[in-house]
Structure 1
Amino acid sequence: MTHVTPFSNPFLLGFETVEKTLRRISKTGEAYPAYNIERLHKNDDTNHIRITLAVAGFKVNNLNILLDDNQLIIHGKQTDNQNHQYLYHGIAARQFQRTFVLAEGMYVTNAELKNGLLSINLHQPKSKKQIKQIPIKVSSGELYQSQSVKE
């Protein structure tokens, strides 16, 4: 049986990796840790975005931020302290992995851990529209360059 997705359209070529990434991310539906995504400012040339994750109880050496192609992956690993004798243990020591897919050209400018919040600042330069005329080779081996088509 064929799995139909929005990317199954025959006019969408080369989007297999995007589809695979989105499928993997959709499987990680856990809501921990809570996060915000905010636009700091936007102008004609750039877009500045901040992702803030609530990571109370995590030390900087328990957190890891990776950029793998266009995927921003945040790991948090926390271990229970076995030396404590709890009367009540209600704060869980959990680990997490949170993944965000970044648009093409977007990159991380910096990350900061302050007051239990991990903030990751992103910069997205405006992409430039590219139109390229493709010559057509005819049977005589000659290249035919058509007239520009205006949109």
Structure 2
Amino acid sequence: MTTLDFSPLFRSMIGFDRLASSLENAYRSEPGGYPPYNVELESENKYRISLAVAGFGEDELGLEVKENVLSVTGQRREETKDRQYLYRGIANRGFERKFQLADYVKVVDARLENGLLHIDLEREVPEAMKPRKIEIRRDQAGSQRFIEAEHAKAA
């Protein structure tokens, strides 16, 4: 197995400690799986995950968010034993599908519609985290920038 070296990326990225482990996990995981799903970008801060969960009822599905990981589980109820199948092509197994959520992304809605489980997500960045413009002032003499003067005082 090939390992990826992300060190060039981290020269200019500060505070993305979990990024390398997330990328490695994504690299290691196999594509596909059950149940199939789509991830849609509806707008800049709105997303939708749609999972094909035909045959599962609302009471057989579960959603949980813990430490920025969305877990979707499905567990079928036991069928009565008196059924006899000539051919059984519909999967009757449970599943667990996990999605890593970015900071400030939360689940706002989940609904089951025509065999698809739609999970709506929204990124809500707090005001304190949004970009803001910093004004650079001059000191009293006007010869140095205010930020540079403050830095000199601290040294």
TM over 0.5: yes
Q: Is 1:20 aligned to 2:31, yes or no?
A: no
2:34 corresponding residue in structure 1: 32
Q: 1:108 offset after TM fit, Å?
A: 0.7
Contact 1:7–1:15 under 8 Å retained in 2: no
Contact 1:7–1:19 under 8 Å retained in 2: no
Instruction: Give structure 1 stretches of 5+ with no counterpart.
Output: 145-151
Q: 1:79 offset after TM fit, Å?
A: 5.2
Q: Structure 1 residues 48-57 or 29-38, which shifts more?
A: 29-38
Which structure is larger by alpha-carbon Rg, 1 or 2? 2
Give identity over the alignment, percent. 33
Q: How many residues align?
A: 135
Q: Is 1:41 aligned to 2:40, yes or no?
A: no
Instruction: Give the letter aligned to residue 5 of structure 2.
Output: T
Contact 2:60–2:77 under 8 Å retained in 1: no
Change (3 A) 1:85 1:8: farther
TM-score, normalisation: structure 2: 0.67
Contact 1:110–1:122 under 8 Å retained in 2: yes
Corresponding residue SS for 1:85: coil
Change (3 A) 1:93 1:117: same
Tell me, in whole angstroms, the C-alpha distance in 2 between the residues paired with 1:4 and 1:51.
28
Change (3 A) 1:7 1:113: farther
1:69 corresponding residue in structure 2: 67
Partner residue of 1:59 out of 35, 57, 60: 57
Instruction: Give structure 2 stretches of 5+ with no counterpart.
Output: 135-146
Corresponding residue SS for 1:19: helix
Say what the alpha-carbon RMSD is for the aligned residues: 3.2
Q: 1:131 offset after TM fit, Å?
A: 8.1
The structure richer in strand per residue is 1
2:131 corresponding residue in structure 1: 129
Contact 1:48–1:124 under 8 Å retained in 2: yes
